[in-house]
C-alpha cells in the first residue's frame, strides 16, 4: 500500500489514539497530526506517541491525504460537514463510527472520497490513556460502501486496514446497522440495564458471570446515547426480540415448567457461538 | 486445621473435581474418594488426580469424615437424603449448590453436621475435564448457617475454605438466595435470552462486548433450569426489576429523548462496580 503523506486524526480518544499508534508502528504515514475538543487529550496523544503533532485548527486537513473522523456519531457528521470545503481533491476521509446509515447518508454526498468504516475494536474504557496499537490485533473492520463510494478510495481504505492486521467485511450501511443493533447495541442496552438492577448491598455476592455480563455498562454514556438514537428503529426491533425471549423464559419460571425452561436453555446452549 | 481422614466427593464434575485437586494440593485429606452418576467422569477425575479412588456405592460415605455434595440442586437434596442413615456421627457434610434455602431446609434436619456452602467459583464450562485447582484462587464462598447448624462443624468448614485460599461470607440461606437472584441468576437469565436473540447470520459482526455478555449462556441447561426454579420467587423479582430498567431505556429511545437516555447511561456508568 502507498504510504499516506499526512494523516489527520480528528478525535484523539481511545480509537483515534490507538489508530495513531498502529499507523506509526506499521509506518503507514509520513506524519500524523491530531485534534481533540479537549486540549488535554491531544497533548496526551502526542506524549504517548499516538500523533506527531497537535493542532487546534480544522484547516490542518487542507494538506492531508487521509483524514480520520474518530468521534461520537453526531460529532463525526458535524466534523465531516465542517471540513467538506477544506480538503484537497484526492484526500480520503474515513470515520470509525458505531452506526453507519446516518453518517454515510450525511457525508457521502459532500466528501468525494469518503469511506464509512466501523472497526470492531472498542473497549469499555474511554480516552487516549487506554489507547494501544494492539486493540486492532485480529479484529474486524466493517466497511460500508454505497453507490457514491469511489472504488479507488475504497480499495485504498481496505488495504489500509489490512496493513494494520485488520480483516475487512463489506456490507451496506443499512445492513451494518441492522446487524449491529443485535450484536452490539442490544448487548449494551442490556448490560446498562442489568447493572442498574442489582442493589448495591449485593455487590459483594457478585462473581465472574456478573462482571462479564456488565463489563460494557462502563462504556461512555454520551457516545452510547448517540449510538442508540442514531440506530433507533433497528435497536427497538432487537429489543423486542430480546424481550420476547426473556418473557418466554420468565413464563416457564413462573409456571414452574421445567421442561419448557430446559428446552429454552438447551436451545441457547446449542446456538452457534461467536468466537474469534 | 485438622486434616480430614477421608473425603468423599459425590459428583466429580467441574466443581467437585476442582475441589479434589485443591484439597490435594493443600494436603487437607488423607484420601479422596469420588462418585459420579457418569462412570466416565469419575474415571477421568481419578486420571487427572482429582480423586484417589473411584467408588460406585454411596455406602462409601460410612467411613468418611467429610462428604461434599457437588451436583445440581435437586440432586444435592436427593443425595443428602440417601446418605442420611449411612454417616458416622461426626461426619461433616457440605454442599456447593447455587441456591441455598431449599437445600438447607431439606438437609439441616436430617444431616447432623450439615453446612450449606456456595463457592462463587463456577465457570460456563461443564465437566471434570475443565477442573483445575486455580478456580478457587481469590474467590469467595458463601456459607449459610441457620439455627440447627452445629458451631463446631461451621467453624471447621470455614477453616477448610480458608485453607483453600477462599474468603468466606456468612449469611442466612434466604438472604443468599435473594442476593444471588440479582447477582447471578438474573445475569444468567439475561445472557441465555440475549444469545437466543441474535440471528445467526449476524454472528460475524460480533465482537468482544457480545462475547462477554453471552459467555455464561454456555452454562449447563439442566443445572440452570434447577437453579432458576429453586429460586423462583426471588428470580421473578429480579427479572421485574431488570424489565423496569430496560423499559425505561427503551422508552427514552422510542421517544428520542437524548437527555433521559444519557441520564440512564450515566447512572449505570456511575454505579459502584463489583471488582475482585
B197 contacts A194? CB cut-off 8 A: no
Full domain range(s) for residue A232: 175-270
- pLDDT recorded at residue B274: 63
Neighbours of A110 (CB within 10 A): 13
The mean pLDDT of B249-275, rounded to a whole number, is 91
Based on the domain organization, do B166 and B194 belong to the same domain?
no
Asked if residues A226 and A103 have their Cβ atoms less than 8 Å apart, the reply is: no
Asked if residues B98 and B117 have their Cβ atoms less than 8 Å apart, the reply is: no
Based on the domain organization, do A186 and A208 belong to the same domain?
yes
Based on the domain organization, do A184 and A155 belong to the same domain?
no
CA–CA min distance A31, chain B (Å)? 31
Asked if residues A12 and A129 have their Cβ atoms less than 8 Å apart, the reply is: no
The mean pLDDT of B35-51, rounded to a whole number, is 94
Smallest CA-to-CA distance from B104 within B68, B74, B77, B136 is with B77
Tracing cell 475435564 back to the chain, one arrives at B129
Gap between the Cα atoms of A46 and A44, Å rounded: 5
Asked if residues B242 and A194 have their Cβ atoms less than 8 Å apart, the reply is: yes
Based on the domain organization, do A181 and A165 belong to the same domain?
no
Could you say which of B171, B196, B215 is where a domain stops?
A: B171
Instruction: Find which of B141, B192, B232 to mutate to test the A interface (most A CBs within 10 Å of its CB).
Output: B192
Asked if residues A99 and A177 have their Cβ atoms less than 8 Å apart, the reply is: yes
Smallest CA-to-CA distance from B33 within B6, B58, B14 is with B6
Would you mind telling me the total number of residues written for chain A in this entry?
A: 276
Residues from chain A that touch B197, judged by Cβ atoms under 8 A, are 182, 186, 238, 241-242, 244-245
DSSP letter for A226, please. H
Which CATH number does the domain housing residue B83 bear?
3.40.50.720
Residue B12, all three cell numbers = 466429580
B169 touches chain A (CB under 8 A): yes
ipTM of the complex: 0.89
- pLDDT recorded at residue A274: 63
Segment among A106-110, A129-133, B5-9, B71-75 with least mean pLDDT: A129-133
- pLDDT recorded at residue B185: 97
Q: Is B4 helix (H, G, I), strand (E, B) or coil?
A: strand
Residues from chain A that touch B245, judged by Cβ atoms under 8 A, are 193-194, 196-197
Could you say which of A145, A171, A197 is where a domain stops?
A: A171
Instruction: Find which of B118, B233, B246 to mutate to test the A interface (most A CBs within 10 Å of its CB).
Output: B246
Based on the domain organization, do A144 and A78 belong to the same domain?
yes
Residues from chain B that touch A197, judged by Cβ atoms under 8 A, are 182, 186, 238, 241-242, 245
Give the confidence band of B122 by pLDDT, cuts at 50, 70, 90. Answer: confident
Domain count along chain A: 2
- For residue range B124-163, list pLDDT tens digits in order: 777 888 888 889 988 999 999 999 999 999 999 999 999 9
- pLDDT recorded at residue B125: 77
Asked if residues B202 and A182 have their Cβ atoms less than 8 Å apart, the reply is: yes
B204 contacts A272? CB cut-off 8 A: no
- pLDDT recorded at residue A2: 78
Considering the entire predicted model, what is its pTM?
Answer: 0.90
Neighbours of B146 (CB within 10 A): 15
- For residue range B77-93, list pLDDT tens digits in order: 999 999 999 999 999 99
Residue B133 maps to a domain: yes
B89 touches chain A (CB under 8 A): no
Instruction: Find which of A271, A272, A276 to mutate to test the B interface (most B CBs within 10 Å of its CB).
Output: A271
Beta pairing class for B114-119 and B92-95: parallel
Based on the domain organization, do A9 and A42 belong to the same domain?
yes
| Per-residue pLDDT tens listing for chain A (276 residues) | 679 999 999 999 999 999 999 999 999 999 999 999 989 999 999 999 999 999 999 999 999 999 999 999 999 999 999 999 999 999 999 999 999 999 999 999 999 999 999 999 877 777 888 888 889 988 999 999 999 999 999 999 999 999 999 999 999 999 999 999 999 999 999 999 999 999 999 999 998 889 999 999 988 898 899 999 999 999 999 999 999 999 999 999 999 999 999 999 999 998 876 655
Could you say which of A144, A171, A198 is where a domain stops?
A: A171
DSSP letter for B41, please. H
B59 touches chain A (CB under 8 A): no
Residue A276 maps to a domain: no
Based on the domain organization, do B23 and B159 belong to the same domain?
yes
CA B148, B150, B151 angle in degrees (round to 5)?
Answer: 125
Helix runs in chain A, H state only: 14-25, 39-47, 73-83, 101-107, 151-163, 173-180, 186-197, 208-214, 221-230, 232-254, 258-270
Based on the domain organization, do A165 and A181 belong to the same domain?
no
Q: Is A6 helix (H, G, I), strand (E, B) or coil?
A: strand
Based on the domain organization, do B33 and B64 belong to the same domain?
yes
Gap between the Cα atoms of A230 and B59, Å rounded: 65
List, as one string, the DSSP characters of B82-110.
HHTTT--TT-EEEE--S--HHHHHHHTTT
CA–CA min distance B47, chain A (Å)? 28
Tracing cell 429453586 back to the chain, one arrives at B230
B258 contacts A221? CB cut-off 8 A: no
- pLDDT recorded at residue A275: 57
Smallest CA-to-CA distance from B169 within A197, A212, A196, A203 is with A203
Gap between the Cα atoms of B269 and A114, Å rounded: 34
Q: Is the pLDDT of residue B65 over 60?
A: yes
Based on the domain organization, do B186 and B247 belong to the same domain?
yes
Mean pLDDT across chain B: 94
Amino acid at each position: 500500500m502507498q504510504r499516506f503523506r499526512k494523516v489527520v486524526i480528528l478525535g484523539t480518544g481511545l480509537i483515534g489514539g490507538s489508530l495513531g499508534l498502529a499507523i506509526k508502528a506499521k509506518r503507514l504515514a509520513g506524519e500524523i497530526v491530531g485534534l481533540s475538543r479537549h486540549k488535554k487529550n491531544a497533548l496526551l496523544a502526542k506524549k504517548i506517541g499516538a500523533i506527531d503533532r497537535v493542532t487546534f485548527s480544522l484547516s490542518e486537513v487542507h494538506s492531508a491525504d487521509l483524514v480520520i473522523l474518530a468521534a461520537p456519531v453526531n460529532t463525526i457528521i458535524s466534523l465531516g460537514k465542517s471540513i467538506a470545503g477544506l480538503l484537497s481533491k484526492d484526500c480520503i476521509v474515513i470515520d470509525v463510527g458505531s452506526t453507519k446509515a446516518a453518517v454515510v447518508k450525511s457525508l457521502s454526498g459532500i466528501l468525494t472520497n469518503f469511506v464509512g468504516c466501523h472497526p470492531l475494536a472498542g473497549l469499555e474504557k474511554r480516552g487516549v490513556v487506554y489507547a494501544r496499537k494492539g486493540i486492532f490485533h485480529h479484529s474486524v473492520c466493517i466497511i460500508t460502501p454505497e453507490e457514491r463510494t469511489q472504488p479507488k478510495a475504497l480499495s485504498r481504505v481496505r488495504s489500509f486496514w489490512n496493513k494494520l492486521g485488520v480483516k475487512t467485511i463489506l456490507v451496506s450501511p443499512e445492513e451494518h446497522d441492522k446487524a449491529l443493533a443485535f450484536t452490539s447495541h442490544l448487548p449494551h442496552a442490556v448490560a446498562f440495564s442489568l447493572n442498574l438492577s442489582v442493589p448495591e448491598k449485593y455487590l459483594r455476592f457478585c462473581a465472574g458471570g456478573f462482571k462479564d455480563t456488565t463489563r460494557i455498562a462502563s462504556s461512555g454514556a454520551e457516545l452510547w446515547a448517540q449510538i442508540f438514537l442514531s440506530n433507533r428503529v433497528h435497536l427497538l426491533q432487537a429489543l423486542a426480540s430480546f424481550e420476547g425471549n426473556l418473557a418466554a423464559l420468565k413464563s416457564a419460571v413462573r409456571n414452574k415448567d421445567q421442561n419448557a425452561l430446559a428446552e429454552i436453555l438447551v436451545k441457547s446452549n446449542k446456538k452457534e457461538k461467536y468466537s474469534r
